[in-house]
Structure 1
Amino acid sequence: MTLFNEILNRVVLICSYVFSSLTRFQVFIGYKKAHFGIADYYEHKGIPQSHIIHNEKRSVAMLDYDNFRPDDIILFTYIKSGTHFTRDVITSIYKEKGIQVSSCFFELNVPTFLTPSDKTIKATGPLAHLDRAPSPRIFTTHLSWDLLPPKVRDCKVKVVHCSRNPKDVVCSMFEFLRRPGVLLSYISFDQFLDWFTQGNVLYGSYFDFVRSWYPHRNNSNVLHIQYEGMKKDLELSVRRLAKFIDIELSQEQIDRVVYDNTFKNKKKEKGDYHAMYRRGQSGAWRNDLSEEQIQRMDRWIEREMKGLDEFHLLFD
C-alpha cells in the first residue's frame, strides 16, 4: 500500500462526507427529490435509482447494447453481494496469465473503474466507454435480468452471478449508501430494514432480483457462486471461475490467487478507507441485527423463498 493511495483514500472519504452534507441540504431546500430516504431519487423501469451514482442515459442504453466480444463477462449481482470481491478474484485469475482486465460499469455515473481506454477506437453515446475498453472486459451491473442487454439474455455472453444472504446484504447496504449521501443520514437502520423487505430501496427488491435470474440459473452461459461459499472455500471458487472463463491454472497459480484475495491482503492493498472493503465478513448480521429484526427477516425470507427451491441461502 503506497502513501499516495492511502492519502487518496482519505481524500475520497472526506469528499464523500462533504458531498453527503451538500446532498442533504439540497434535499432540504427542495432542489433534489428524496423518496424512501434515497436522495436525488428517480426510477428506471420501476427500479429505484439515484442521480448521485446512476446515469439514466446509460441505464436506458444498456437495454439495447449489442457490441459484445467473445471474451466478455457480465458480473451480475444485487448491490453489496460480493461484487468487488468476485471481480478482483476474476482479475487475479487473468493476471496469472499476464492479462490485464478492463472493468466497466453499465449504469453508474463513473464510466470506468481501473480501466484503460483505447483512444484509437471511435465510439459515441452513453456507453462509449465500454467500446473503448480493451479486451477482456468485465461488465458489472446490479440491474435485474430483464434489464440486461438481449445478447446476455439470449445466452451469448458469459454471466457470473454472485449472491449473498439478505441479512448481511441489508446491514452492509445501509452503511455503504450513507457514505456518499445516497441514503439520507437521519434514516434509522430499523426504517431502512422495513423498506428493504418491502423492496423500497436502491435497486428494488432483493427477491425480485433473484426471481429475475432464477429461471436462467441453468443456462450454459451462467455461473452462480455465493459470497459465503467463496469465504468458506476460496480455492474451490477460484477453480470454478477459472474453468468457466476457460483459463487453466496450476496449483501454484491458484494458491497465489487465493492468497492475494484474502480480506486481510485486499484491505492492505486497498487501504483502510476504501469504501468497498469495510469488514469483509460473512455472518456479521448476528451482531448487527436485534432479535426482533432477525425474526422479522426470517418471516420475510420464508415467505419470499417459496418457488425458489434450488436457491439456497447460506448463513455463516
Structure 2
Amino acid sequence: MSERMNTTVIFDGIRFPGFIHTLESLKAASAFQFQDKDVLLVTFPKSGTTWMQQVLSLIFCEGHLWPIHHLPNWARVPWIEQISFSQVFQELRSSWPRLFTSHLSAKVLAPALMKSKVKVVYMARNPKDTLVSFYHFHRIAGFMPDPSSFEDFVDEFLEGTGFFGSWFDHVKGWLGLQKDLNLLFVTYEELHQEPRRTIQKLSEFLEHPLRPEEEDVVLQHCSFSFMSQSNMVNYSVLSNEIMDQRKGKFLRKGVVGDWREHFTPELNKKFNAVYQSKMGDSGLCLPWTMD
C-alpha cells in the first residue's frame, strides 16, 4: 500500500493521486457502460461530494436504513474511476437505480454518458470554500502532498495544476453540457440554506417523489451532526496512514463562507481577478458572490 502513497497518475493532462487511481482504472471509467436508470453524481473534490452521496443514498433507501448505518458512502455510491471500483461494483445492490460518483471532467465522461439517459447530478460550491476544504484535505490525506503554504496552494488552484485539474474548467465543462445531458445543477450553498427544498428538487429530478415523513428521514440523516458522528460517512474507518484525522477532521465544519477565515485581502483580490477572467464571460448563472 505505502509504495503507491506518493505516486501520481496523469490522465488527459490532469494529475490524479496514484494511491486510488491507475491509468487502467481511469480509462475504464471513461468507457463505462451506463444504463438509462443510473444516477451519476459529479463534483470537483471538496464540493459536498460526501454530503450528496448521503442524500442520494437516503432518497433511494425506501426507508431501509441498514445501508446508511452499515455501508460506507464509497460502497453505496462508488467512484467509477477509482481502483476499488471493479470490486465494489460487483458488491453493489442489484436494485435500481445504481448510484455512482465521479470527479472526472466532462470531456472525459461525456462520450460514455451520451450513450444512455443516465441522470447526472452536478454539484458545485463557491470555489473559495472548495479551495479551503481541499487545502485542509491535503493536510490529512496520506496520499496527497502536504501543501507548502496556503498562498502556494491558492496559486496552484488558480493555475489548475494541482490534483484533479482546474476547478474553472471542471465547472464550465460540465455546465456546458446541460443541453446535451439529463443534468441537474445543485450547489452546496442551496443544500446548506434550503435543505428540504433542495431534496424536493432532487427527488423530482430523479423521479422518486418522497412523502414529507420520508423527507424528514433524509434531513435527519444528512445533517452535519449526524454525518460527522457516523463512521460510515466521516472516513474514520480508514487508517491514520491513509487519513490522519488527528491532524484535522475529514468533515471539518460544513459551513458556507469559511474562506473568509483564510484569505488575506491580497489573496482575495488575486483570486477575484482570476475568477473574473475565467468565469466572467461564461454565461453561467452561478449563485455565489465573490466578496
Identical columns (%): 27
Q: TM-score, normalised by structure 1?
A: 0.77
Q: Which of residues 224, 246, 249 in structure 1 aligns to 2:210?
A: 249
Which of 84, 87, 91 lines up with 2:57 in the alignment?
A: 91
- Paired residue for 2:240? none
Alignment counterpart, residue 178 of structure 1, candidates 119, 128, 139:
139
Alignment length (residue pairs)? 267
Computing the radius of gyration from Cα coordinates, the structure with the larger value is 1
Question: Is this contact kept in 2: 1:162–1:224, CA < 8 A?
Answer: yes
Counterpart position of 1:290? 264
Q: Distance in 2 between matches of 1:273 and 1:106?
A: 19
Q: Who is 2:24 aligned against?
A: 57
Tell me the distance in 2 between the aligned counterparts of 1:282 and 1:309. Answer: 24
Q: Is the 8 A contact 2:139 2:147 kept in 1?
A: no
Over 3 Å counting, the alpha-carbon distance change for 1:186 and 1:234 in structure 2 is closer
Cα distance in 1, alignment partners of residues 214 and 101 from structure 2: 25
2:12 equivalent to 1:45: yes
Match of 2:241 in 1: none
Is 1:130 matched with 2:89? yes
The alignment's C-alpha RMSD in Å is: 2.6
Pick which of 44-53 and 215-224 moved more. Answer: 215-224
* 1:247 CA displacement: 1.1
Q: Is the Cα–Cα contact under 8 Å of residues 155 and 219 in structure 1 kept in the other structure?
A: no
1-structure distance, mates of 2:44, 2:234: 24
Is the 2:138–2:147 Cα contact (8 Å) retained in structure 1?
no
Q: Work out whether 1:234 is the aligned partner of 2:195.
A: yes
Q: Does 1:160 align with 2:121?
A: yes
Q: Which one of 36, 45, 51 corresponds to residue 79 of structure 1?
A: 45
Whole-angstrom distance in 2 between the partners of 1:224 and 1:77? 10
| Alignment map for 1:148-227 (pairs within 5 Å) | 148=109, 150-154=111-115, 156-185=117-146, 187-219=148-180, 221-227=182-188
Give the aligned partner of residue 279 of structure 2: 305
In the alignment, what sits opposite 2:78? 104
How far apart are residue 204 of structure 1 and its match? 0.4
Relative distance call for 1:170 and 1:193 in structure 2 (3 A) is same
Residue number in structure 1 paired with 2:221: 260
> Distance in 2 between the 1:192 and 1:97 partners?
42
Q: Structure 2: how far apart are the matches of 1:280 and 1:294?
A: 21
SS in structure 2 of the partner of residue 237 of structure 1: helix
1: CA distance between counterparts of 2:217 and 2:185? 23
Helix, strand or coil: the match of 1:52?
coil
Read off the aligned partner of 2:43 and give its amino acid letter.
T
Once residues 145 and 284 of structure 2 are traced to their aligned partners in structure 1, the CA distance between those partners, rounded to angstroms, is 36
Structure 2 counterpart of 1:116: none
Measure the CA separation in 2 of the matches of 1:48 and 1:231: 30
Instruction: Work out the CA distance in 2 between the residues paired with 1:307 and 1:214.
Output: 14
- Amino acid of the residue matched to residue 214 of structure 2? Q
Cα distance in 2, alignment partners of residues 144 and 90 from structure 1: 21
Unmatched 5+ residue regions in structure 2?
68-74, 237-248
Q: 1:48-99 CA deviation, whole Å, 9 max, x = no partner?
A: 1121222321101112122x33321111111111111011011111124448
Q: With structure 2 as the length reference, what TM-score do the two structures score?
A: 0.83
Structure-2 separation of matches of 1:189 and 1:219: 38
Deviates more, 1:296-305 or 1:178-187: 178-187
Deviations 1:238-290 (A, max 9, x none): 00111111112111211221122111122122387745412111110011211
1:106 deviates by: 1.3
Supply the distance in 2 between the matched residues of 1:155 and 1:303 (Cα, whole angstroms): 35
**Whole-angstrom distance in 1 between the partners of 2:197 and 2:280:** 29
Structure 1: 5+ residue runs without aligned partners?
A: 1-18, 27-31, 33-38, 112-126
What is the CA distance between 1:109 and its match in structure 2?
3.0
